[in-house]
Amino acid sequence: MTERRPDTLLMLSGGIDSAYCLWQRVRAGQYTRTHHVSLADHEGRRDVEDRAVQQILDWMRRNGGEGLIEHTSSAMDFRDMWIPKNFHAWAYWAGAIMASPRGQSITTVILPRHSDAFRGGPNSPGARKSDAAYRGHIKLICGREPRLSLPMAHLTKAEAVAAMPEDLLRLCWWCRRPRAGQPCHKCMTCRQVDPALAARWRR
| C-alpha dihedral (188, 27, 57, 89), degrees to nearest 10 | -50
Q: In what order do the strands lie in the sheet with 32-40?
A: 69-77, 32-40, 8-11, 108-110, 147-149
**Angle at CA of residue 48, ends 5 and 35, nearest 5°:** 15
Task: List, for residues 51-96, the tens digit of each pLDDT value.
Answer: 999 999 999 999 999 999 999 999 999 988 888 789 999 999 999 9
Whole-structure pTM value: 0.94
- The pLDDT of residue 106: 98
pLDDT > 90? residue 181? no
CB atoms within 10 A of CB 106: 23
Task: List, for residues 10-25, the tens digit of each pLDDT value.
Answer: 999 999 999 999 999 9
- The pLDDT of residue 2: 61
- The pLDDT of residue 124: 84
Domains, the chain: 6-200 (3.40.50.620)
Task: List, for residues 19-52, the tens digit of each pLDDT value.
Answer: 999 999 999 999 999 999 999 999 999 999 999 9
The span from the CA of 2 to the CA of 141, in Å, is: 27
Task: List, for residues 125-172, the tens digit of each pLDDT value.
Answer: 888 999 999 999 999 999 999 999 999 999 999 999 999 999 999 999
Backbone angles phi, psi at 114, to 5 degrees: -85, 170
The span from the CA of 156 to the CA of 115, in Å, is: 5
By the 8 A CB rule, do 78 and 40 touch? yes
The sign of the torsion formed by the CA atoms of 13, 17, 64, 5 equals: negative
- The pLDDT of residue 203: 63
